[in-house]
Amino acid sequence: MPENTTEGGQRRRTFLKTAGGVATVGIAGCGGNGEANAGDGSDSSSDADGSDSSSDGTSGNTLSLSIPEAANFDPVQIKGDGSQVVSDHVFSELLTLPADGLEPTAQLVTDYSVSENGRTYTFMLREDVTFHNGDELTADDVVYSWERLAASENSQEGENILEGGFQIAHDTTTETVDGEDQEVYEPGSLAVEAVDDYTLEVTLEQPFFDALFWFAYGSLSPVPEGIVGDIEGYDGEMDYAEFSSQSPVGTGPFQTESVETGTEVVLSAADDYHGDEPGPDRIAMQVVQNSDAIHQRAMNRNVQVFNVPNSRFDPSKVSIEETRNLGQEIGTYGPLENGETVNYSTWDEAYTAYFIFDCSRVEKPIRQALNYAVNQENFVEQGFRGVGEPAYHQAPPSVYPGGKEAYDQHAEENFPYGYREAQIDQARSVMEEAGYGENNRASLTLTLYNDRNPDAYSRIADLIRSKAQSVYVDLSIERAPFNTIIDEAVSGNLDMYTLGNGLEYPSPADMLKFGRPYDGNLVRWREDPSDASEQAAAAWEQVQNNLGPTEAEEEARSEAFIQMEEAIWEDAIYLTNYHPRGRQWWYDEVEAPIQPSGFHDRLYDSLTFE
């Protein structure tokens, strides 16, 4: 299960709308579908010594796991890690990502076609798929499910099909909200049609190069037509609370056997599942939110698959034996505290952690000097015990145009602040040219998470502070919860602070949309216009004008992405930190599936018992 080094957020869920629609910002979190450290010192449903008060699932063909909170499994809800790992097993999508790549393949469909204009997708559904309640999957179920995504008051994911580059065609109406006119979705207008029982036609507002990936996205998972009555025309067959938190109904390999909210979720293999028979008969997931208890459960062998908290991770115990095509590394780890040597794997989470400067509060020479003064390799080694990659671009290596090799080459040849080295002399020179020195020092405050990797960020902050001191910058350090940081950043009250972004789909556009100068951008670059900010704005416009699937449009996007990265470097609006890796450990009694990437669902249906 992934260590919570990705700032503990939601799978591929990378943005939130702040109160009043003031701004759209990157959420620190991605990919965390599984057993994660929810933060030291938090309450746990397990005893401090790791003993279990719930069912022991380590015998027979029952897989036992520890997960964080698990409360709502509705596909249209934003989920924390624990809820997401449950949903990944209960629901399935029209398309899915294969284990060896990021190009979606069929799951609930047999075939599809695309119109000449690139806007209309026609899907042929499989005729052998049933929901857990015995209903057959038809196109009407998909129409209902996606209407819920767009129109339900319970939906938190509607923007995935109503906004951005990927949009299903729809109508809007004007409504007055807080005294302002806003365009909102008109219920029933979504361009999704059941041509017949097994033919689904979907029309997009415009061609989009990664549309197939979105059709594989979890919030578009079908549920039975009319299962809940939260959209017009349906009374509902189940109470919403029962559906969302006790008995979700999907087409996935498992169904809920029992749910004790805050304590345990037990899944059992679904009858008449359309895919290969799952390896486990049951999956018993105990909710455990204290990192010491999580660790002790693993040491007591109460679980077969687990994580080792950062505070206990020793990189010298890792032995890598295999590297796969998406960058997954597989080997062994040990000995553990219980004397065992276990299996180990790590993968790319498609995530970038960074420090944001508010450009209206911190002038450019200070931003540049701090970039010169640090070495991102030290962030990884000292902060995250060597797990992850130093970050030089906003886009993670796996989605950078040309991949990791191109990422490294461009950074080595062009990163202006010292590739894998600090450049203290240059930092001092920039500050002195701006009038700073020992008798005229700059001051600013760095605000850190106190609820997400607090130990790692404390080490990194101390490193930045010591470097800042040597380049005429007095750096104060404050700590606050993630939500407080977001609120204060939106209000313009922070100089420099921790944040990060995990991608929803594998394209630099999903990261760089937060870097462009726009109204609502927390770096407030638009308030400090420059040649670089204008370059970034023009490059983003080039991206928006080339969202189609052709090679020429892909080339134009790639060119623009690099221009945006270099503009961000020029004005130093961020201090990049690192690209984290997901991690998983497992005992020899099971053969656990290797997680391909942070984009893939966290599934254990292919796990086998030795």
> How confident is the model at residue 133, as a pLDDT?
97
Q: What backbone torsions phi and psi does residue 365 show, to the nearest 5 degrees?
A: -60, -35
Residue range 517-572, pLDDT digits in tens: 998 889 999 887 899 999 999 999 999 999 999 999 999 999 999 999 999 999 99
Token digits of residue 382: 């000292």
User: Distance between the two ends of the chain, CA-based, in angstroms?
Assistant: 19
Instruction: Report DSSP letters for 91-116, one per residue.
Output: ---SEE--TT-SS-EESSEEEEEE-T
Q: Could you tell me which of 212, 218, 251 has the C-alpha nearest to residue 113?
A: 212
pLDDT of 15: 32
Q: What is the DSSP string of 318-374?
A: EEEEEE-TTS-EEEEE---TTS--EEEEEEE--EEEEEEE-TTTS-HHHHHHHHHH-
Residues of the chain where predicted confidence (pLDDT) is lower than 70: 1-60
Strands of the sheet containing 282-287, edge to edge, are: 62-67, 282-287, 264-269, 254-260
Buried b (16+ CB within 10 A) or exposed e, 524-536: bbbebeeebbebb
What is the pLDDT, as a whole number, of residue 38? 29
Please tell me the predicted confidence (pLDDT) of residue 45: 39
Q: What pLDDT is recorded for position 59?
A: 53
- 3-class DSSP assignment, residue 586: strand
Per-residue pLDDT of 357-379, as tens digits, reads 999 999 999 999 999 999 999 99
Dihedral sign computed on CA atoms, order 406, 407, 410, 413? negative
